[in-house]
Amino acid sequence: MANKEDLAQMAHLMRRAGFGATREELERRVAQGYAATVEELINPPEEMPAGNMALLLRYMPGCLLPGGVPQPGQYNWMYNMITTQRPLEEKMALFWHQVFATGNSKVDNCDQMLQQIVMFRQHGMANYRDMLLEVSRNPAMIYWLDNNENHRDAVNENWGRELLELFSMGVSNYTEVDVREASRAFTGWTIAPKLPRQPFGRFPWAFEYLGEDHDDGEKTFLGHTGNLNG
């Protein structure tokens, strides 16, 4: 049986790198060793699934149905947090969901919110630049920050401003001209299909690039000039 100090240390790790652990899991991980546990958290084996959905589907059969009602998606994600064998991956998805704040209160598309969480799982521990590109192409984020309303002849600066202020550079490291030029670079980055709600929720969305709606004029961003694109 593991000693009290080792159990306390492992419990602390599992709270920080996940959502806690049972006594049985803590005993197993102490026996496995601290360094080996950290390695498994950072690089979980491929055979370790994110979570077993069987029990959730038994009691909440509608949790995977697309639609605008948030509760099924909340059940889905909460269940994954509790049952996942890849706790750090899930903890990082929660972390990035807070950083790239997006909510069903506006998106009104539960399926797309779940797909965004999947994206955070896949890219949340990889290169930040790659993840930022994925976020830029994510339908939930595009809708949340109005880039679907960002057109060649009617620029919407919401995404361009938040990209610089909150997601990358921070206040005082760019100018209002940079915001405008960044927003121009992301014109034409939108979602499809642009259809009204079904009786049971929205249609699934996908990223769509409309070249005819992209401002292909010369832009100057952070001192670099050219036909810049997002």
Asked if residue 212 and residue 130 are part of one domain, the reply reads yes
User: What is the three-class DSSP state of 168?
Assistant: coil
Asked if residue 148 and residue 81 are part of one domain, the reply reads yes
Asked if residue 102 and residue 35 are part of one domain, the reply reads no
Asked if residue 61 and residue 25 are part of one domain, the reply reads no
* Residue from 42, 37, 103, 30 nearest 68 by CA: 103
Asked if residue 158 and residue 94 are part of one domain, the reply reads yes
In order, the DSSP letters of 22-34 are -HHHHHHHHHH-H
Q: Would you say 207 and 215 are in contact if contact means Cβ atoms under 8 Å apart?
A: no
What CA–CA distances, in Å, run from 72 to 3, 77, 94, 120?
41, 9, 17, 19
Asked if residue 2 and residue 86 are part of one domain, the reply reads no
Answer positive or negative: Cα dihedral of 163, 208, 114, 51.
negative
Residue 202 DSSP symbol:
P
Start-to-end C-alpha separation, the chain = 56
Q: Would you say 104 and 110 are in contact if contact means Cβ atoms under 8 Å apart?
A: yes
Phi, psi of 200, deg, nearest 5 = -115, 25
Query: What is the domain extent for residue 39?
Result: 1-43
Residues with pLDDT less than 70, the chain: 48-52, 61-73, 195-201
Q: Would you say 57 and 29 are in contact if contact means Cβ atoms under 8 Å apart?
A: no
Asked if residue 175 and residue 64 are part of one domain, the reply reads yes
* pLDDT tens per residue, range 70-121: 566 677 788 888 888 899 999 999 999 999 989 888 988 888 888 999 999 9
Q: Would you say 230 and 223 are in contact if contact means Cβ atoms under 8 Å apart?
A: no
What is the pLDDT, as a whole number, of residue 34? Answer: 96
What is the pLDDT, as a whole number, of residue 68? Answer: 47
What is the pLDDT, as a whole number, of residue 199? Answer: 66
Asked if residue 75 and residue 39 are part of one domain, the reply reads no
Asked if residue 116 and residue 195 are part of one domain, the reply reads yes
What is the count of structural domains for the chain? 2
What is the pLDDT, as a whole number, of residue 79? Answer: 83
Asked if residue 184 and residue 123 are part of one domain, the reply reads yes
β-strand 189-192 against 206-209: which pairing, if any?
antiparallel
Asked if residue 124 and residue 39 are part of one domain, the reply reads no
CA pair distance 50, 42, nearest whole angstrom: 14
| Confidence (pTM) | 0.86
CA pair distance 166, 1, nearest whole angstrom: 47
What is the pLDDT, as a whole number, of residue 77? Answer: 83
Asked if residue 197 and residue 115 are part of one domain, the reply reads yes
